[in-house]
Structure 1
Amino acid sequence: MKARCSAIPLGRAPRQHPRSVVCVQASRDFRPAAATDSARKALVDSLAEAGLDPKAGTAPMRRDLEDATQVLLGRAQDAGAVRPDVELPEVIALITALCLAADRQQWNETLRIRTLDVVFDGFRVR
Structure 2
Amino acid sequence: MSAPLGHTWGVALTIEPISPEMMRTFAQNQYFNLPGDLESMPDYDQGGLVLDILDRFCTRCRRSYDDVMFDPCAADTTQGEHLRGGMKDREARIKAKPEQMPAAVLARQAAARREREVPALMQASRLSGLS
Which bracket does the TM-score occupy, shorter chain normalised? Answer: under 0.3
Looking at both structures, which has the greater relative contact order when contacts are Cα pairs under 8 Å and sequence separation is at least 6? Answer: 1
TM-score normalised per structure 1: 0.23
- Please identify which structure carries the higher helix content: 1
Larger Rg belongs to: 2
TM-score normalised per structure 2: 0.22
- Please identify which structure carries the higher strand content: 2
